[in-house]
Structure 1
Amino acid sequence: MPARPAASLDRLDRQEIQCPWAGSDSIRTMRVGGGLRVTGWNDGDRTIERSVAGMYLCMRTHGDVVMSDDGTDVRAVGADSWLLLESREDQTRRLVITEGPGGIEYEWSVDDVRRTFDAEARQWHDLMLGIMHGYQEVMEIRGEESTLRGRISGHRGHVSGLRGRMSGYRGHVSGLRGRMSGYRGHVSGLRGRMSGYRGHVSGLRGLISSYRGRISSLNAAMRLAARAETRAALEADLQELESRMRQTEEEIAAYDLAGKLQEVEEQIAAYDAEGKIREVEQQIEDYDASGKVAAIEAEIEAYDLEGKTREIERLIVELDTDRRIEEIEDSLEDEIAALRRLAGSTG
């Protein structure tokens, strides 16, 4: 095919016609093994890169580029579309293919110096397309395996989601049971308050008992006292203790233990914890978590995750990714060697 001047490049943004090594924030790269990188660009471009035999190879397509069935020739290029081939070693060889008014056009350069697209450039073109087509097949095989493994992950994720729903059902019931515990805890707190009231009064009554014991001892001592001064001192102590005992008895009366207990009992009755608990128990029964869980367990069993996984793993084995890729890469060795010799013969 005779080379036509790349006039159509004049209307394209040459800054955009770059391989990813030129740097771009829009690059998203996936490494697929063996030094091969398949790079997706936000604008829809597709790039395949490969480091091999000391060379860095790149093919990038933009827009509509129609290749031959074997991927070794460009049949058509859409408007504002292009295909870039580039190799880097001691020199940078670069070919931009576009569609012009007269058909497919080629811009060929070595180290950014424009050259005629001659027979040697055509040979480089053929070798690059053949090699990059092989690596595209590698990418597609890897992609098939990745898709299959993704299906396994999807099935597992589906089952995991179902199990999550079961956990949600159980969690909902656990929350309702927690609410019942809260009701019981509230009543327990109120009853604890009653115990506090009783404890306070019990302490005061214990103090009265202590006063009575000491008063009894003082009365006995007074009966035995011979001296008037001693009896007077004992009498003063006795009066002090009796005064304290009366104050404590008045404090007990003013504390109104019965009233406080009655008030809390009324709060407990008004709170109606048992009624609230019965209502929640009915909610639990109506919610039927056991039934929901059983239904999902049946769905999981019917889904047959293990069976689906085994089938996909069988397909992965049949895909035989490593062997097929090894065969492709072995088949490219002669073309890679020829490309390297060609690179060494041009200057």
Structure 2
Amino acid sequence: MAAVRKATGGSTASEHVLAFEVGMNFTRYALFTNGRIGIPGTIATPTDSVDSFYDALVDVAKKQAATLARTGGKIDGITFSMPGFIDTKKQEAVTAGALAMLYRHRIGEELAERLEAIGVTGGPDDEQIPSWIENDANCAAMAEKMSGNAQKLDDFVLLTVDTGLGGALFLDGKIRRGKDWRAGEFGMMVTNYGVAGMLPLHDFVSTLRLSEDYAEAFDEPSGNVLPSTLFKHLDDPVVKGIVERWVDYIAVGIFNVVVTVDPEVVLIGGSIAREPALIPMIETALAKNKDWKDFRTSVKRCRHSGNAGLIGAYYAFATEVLGK
């Protein structure tokens, strides 16, 4: 049975979808019941082998299935938020970020097969549980569309600022994945060729760069610098200058994306987006560009942070498999 078949629901009136958000160090999970998220859990992501990875997820799914069985329910679907380039047609991880052991694996289908082998199935006919896998940045955008700051929008861009610059394009009412599943790699833009050659924007807007610039200015090891703490010391002119230069590059990336796709809004994600000063500083940096007045677009932080991957994974399953 194909992993992306239409789910027909469990033996009760409730729909139960188990979502996983796979990260390099930790994997989070939550059971959605009729679209409502349950209490999330967390396990360490096994990285020594593919078998160890699946064994850990099988254990989670078995426990969820056992709990549902007490009231006559079943897992009606399994869905994943994954790092890397995800071929959604084949439902295959072309890459999986730092999780090299998962490259070229059809993770959802392979997990469902392992569950079927031990008697954990779904649907009224006890078939293999349907599944879906999706890129993590796309999931973050889908979470905003489902219940965040883009619910009423058909065209928006999400940029995630972290150890690199990632993101997603939600255009004409759907995720734009690209012909090779690589759309939204905003950090690969070359924006400073005259000074830095072909170095990508990643090198200028990552939070690592923010730490490194501070460490250089104050002669401290960069590993001791938590990037978000710089926003607590903007009254120091040196610190403020470091942060402003960093924000200027974020503004360059935003401007380039806006003039390319003309979205209704730009959403900023990543843990550092929680800093209250960030969005106003981005707006000030954008205003330095004389052409911004012709393309002025609202810039907001994402509503979802901790559960974005889980919510977006559910949205992907609901739209792509359940046809909602």
TM-score, normalised with respect to structure 2: 0.23
* Larger of the two Rg values belongs to structure: 1
Greater fraction of residues in helix:
1
TM-score, normalised with respect to structure 1: 0.22
